[in-house]
Chains A and B, each alone.
Chain A
Amino acid sequence: MSIHIDPLEKKWIIMTSGIVLLTWVLIIYYAAVENVHPPSNVEVIDSAHLHLTSGVGGGEFMEDKLGIHRDVDGALVVTMVAARYGFYPQHIEVPINTPVKFRIASFDVLHGVLIPFSNMNTMIVPGYVSELTTSFTRLGDFPVICDEYCGLAHAYMYGMIKIVPKDNFKLTAEVH
């Protein structure tokens, strides 16, 4: 049985489908060519025992390992812990227009991290490591804001990040 479809409706459907297809193509293009992916590393960690070397994923997030360092390939890596009510380390400094890999774990409840005017935005779920690589394109000081409700003092949970010119950037401490 055929149904009654007006010629205008037919045009409208074609146009709408075209828009949907276009968005699909754009997203596939940026994923395949520009490497735009959501933070999705599916890596587990024992959030309750971040301070110990034993346990799943142990050692990486111990207090003396937190901060910015270069990995074996020379890429910048920020290792960070989110816990009520702060990010540790509380201050970081990174160069502009340089890919920085963040690895973040929660010590307690659900948190999020948001740096305004950047693509730095990820949930920090207890039991999982959040990993995200991004470049910052604006110089200056920005807050590192917890963007998921984590308790009554949630609005006070933030750190600071300083984006500096590439020439001014120096690693203050080598951490391995």
Chain B
Amino acid sequence: MATSSIKTSDIALSAATTDSTNKLAFWNFFVAFAAFGLAIPMGAYQVLERSGMFPAIENAAVYYASTSTHGVLMAYVLSTYFIIGFGYHTAVHSLKQALWSPRFAWIGFWMSTLGVLLAASTLLTGHASILYTFYPPEIAHPVFYIGAALLVVGSWFWCILMVVSTVQWKKANPGKPVPLIMYGTVLNALLWLWTSIGVAAEVVFQLIPVSLGWVDTLDPGLARVLFSETLHGIVYFWLFPAYLVMYAILPKEAGGKLFSDEFARIAFVMLFIFSVPIGMHHLYMDPMVAAGWKLLHMFGTFMVAVPTMITGFTIIATLEIAGRLRGGTGLFGWLKTLDYSNPVVLASTLSLLMLTVGGWGGVINAAYSLDALIHNTQWIPGHFHLIYGGTTVIMYFAAAYWLWPKITGHQLYSNKLVLTQLWLWFIGMWVTTMPWHYLGLIGQPRRVDTVQAYQQAEELVRSWDFSMLIMNIGAIMLLVSGLLFVYILFMTSRQPMATKAEQEVSYAEAIHPPLKVPTLLNSLSFWNWAMLIYLVASYGYPVLQFWFIGTPESPQWGI
């Protein structure tokens, strides 16, 4: 037994490797959270502007510039940079090996950052007020698309490094299971490579050529189909690291062990395979995709509920183990003994509560018969703010609080303030998104800067008033909580140095840590082939059809 395996935690990383990884992680997080800090006040402004209760701040041009910027910063910059920073840190510390080429990582970082700055310059000056989905034939300034393309291409450098790290490790450790957190990370990198194909093709072959005037027309139907290929996978790209924190960091922080390692791997491969080829549920209400394809994508969409349900099961079981180890008894007694003063435990619990409600909302969106009622209503921002802004971003906070002492070397500033921030975010998210869900059900559209224009439908508009008042309160709570998060990270850098133990990085173990796992649950190539086949089957014809249905194409339009 003793000689059969060397525990990976016994292998020490060199100080140089740790330092260069910390630097890489820190600067990626820095961009992520700077974008977040900028986008938070914009979000609050948009809510107040839209409520119609503050006429002095109402301005459509400012609103749409703000909304476009808020969406791009939160959905593309915060998420991508966080995932990249977390991924580099995970790859080095879980595999206990240096990154193949930190220089390659920095090239990707600077390419993406150049892209972000270019895109931001057009967004903030109102030259790209076409929202973060940038649906043609409204066309923004070409620099916006070039910036977006650079951001995506820069992120591919990270994907390549994640794959290289894993392949190197597998060669050096034949037959051994890739550490759970790294298996999830590399699958997420592959997921992003696959799912970014759609938007990359749309931007490179349609939007950039038209915006530069190289071609006169494009097919908005094709653009929407290509974008849909990205639109759902990207959501799981954002969510995946949140799950990884729950699987690989939470159990230890809670004082227990992960309930199951293998079950987690099954969830990961399912998340990978079912998150990309199902994007047409974003097109349920679109005229250019035949109903049969929508049905096929709907089946796949419901399948994504399975890995989420597995995750819910495993994480709650894991929390139960920890609660019982801490002396909890009875059916629910273990809930009381959990250590909610630990930021990771608190955030995970709050995240799961938001996931439960947000997930059921997602199941409603997934059924096209129900989608007809809520498509493009305020329900939709309600749903994705609860799932992304709530479930996912609260785990980004937790990961940042866990990582900050490790990568900066400073003690975390005020645990009490950290807990306040997490609670405020959680409550603020409910107070904001529940009215939005309800407003959607009673017919309020999303993406409008004012709802006062529907004057002939006075009675309906007045029925929205109360919910609009409540959402203002939620937005203020989120504003305070978001700024508090940035403040805590900033103040941490002025704290005394953390102890060696606080800086140590280690991941949770399962109750039965597997010495071997079935090849399929350790494989990358099999799942890539499976993805290719599923993707061709689900998107092949719907994309190809545009070459023979003879759509008269659209010229470009300004805003």
Contact = CB atoms under 8 A, between A and B. Distances in A.
B552 A47 contact: yes
Contacts of A27: 295, 298, 367-369
A19 to B, nearest CB: 7
A148 B289 CA distance: 18
A114 B129 contact: no
Given A56-B550, A127-B552, A155-B448, A150 B288 contact: no
Contact of A121 (B376, B449, B454): B376
A79 interface: no
B29 interface: no
B289 A116 contact: no
Nearest to A31: B295
B460 interface: yes
A20 B453 contact: no
A106 B310 CA distance: 44
Interface stretch (A2-10, A65-73, A93-101, A165-173): A2-10
Nearest to B293: A40
Given A48-B552, A160-B456, A39 B285 contact: yes
A112 B220 CA distance: 14
A92 interface: no
A17 B306 contact: yes
Given A56-B550, A158-B454, A4 B443 contact: no
B356 to A, nearest CB: 14
B303 A151 contact: no
Given A12-B310, A128-B288, A110 B220 contact: yes
B559 interface: yes
Contacts of B135: 110, 148-149
Contacts of B557: 108-109, 151
A155 B552 contact: no
B287 A55 contact: no
Contacts of B289: 40, 42
Contacts of B554: 47-48, 109, 126-127
B305 A152 contact: no
Contacts of A125: 220-221, 224, 286-288
B262 A4 contact: yes
B256 to A, nearest CB: 15
B518 to A, nearest CB: 5
Interface in A65-120: 108-110, 112, 114-117, 119-120
Nearest to A12: B313
Contacts of A163: none
A158 to B, nearest CB: 5
Nearest to A9: B263
Q: Among the interface residues B521, B550, B551, B555, which one has the most CB atoms of the partner chain A within 10 A?
A: B551
Given A23-B363, A47-B554, A114-B377, A13 B310 contact: yes
A48 B554 CA distance: 7
A45 B554 CA distance: 11
22 contacts: A3-B518, A20-B306, A24-B302, A36-B369, A39-B285, A40-B289, A47-B552, A110-B138, A114-B376, A119-B372, A121-B375, A126-B220, A129-B287, A130-B287, A146-B445, A147-B375, A147-B377, A147-B445, A147-B447, A154-B449, A155-B448, A155-B450
Given A4-B262, A12-B309, A125-B288, 11 more contacts: A39-B287, A119-B373, A122-B286, A125-B286, A127-B553, A130-B287, A141-B456, A142-B460, A147-B377, A153-B60, A160-B456
- In the A-B complex, the 3 residue pairs with the closest CB atoms: A116-B443, A155-B448, A147-B376
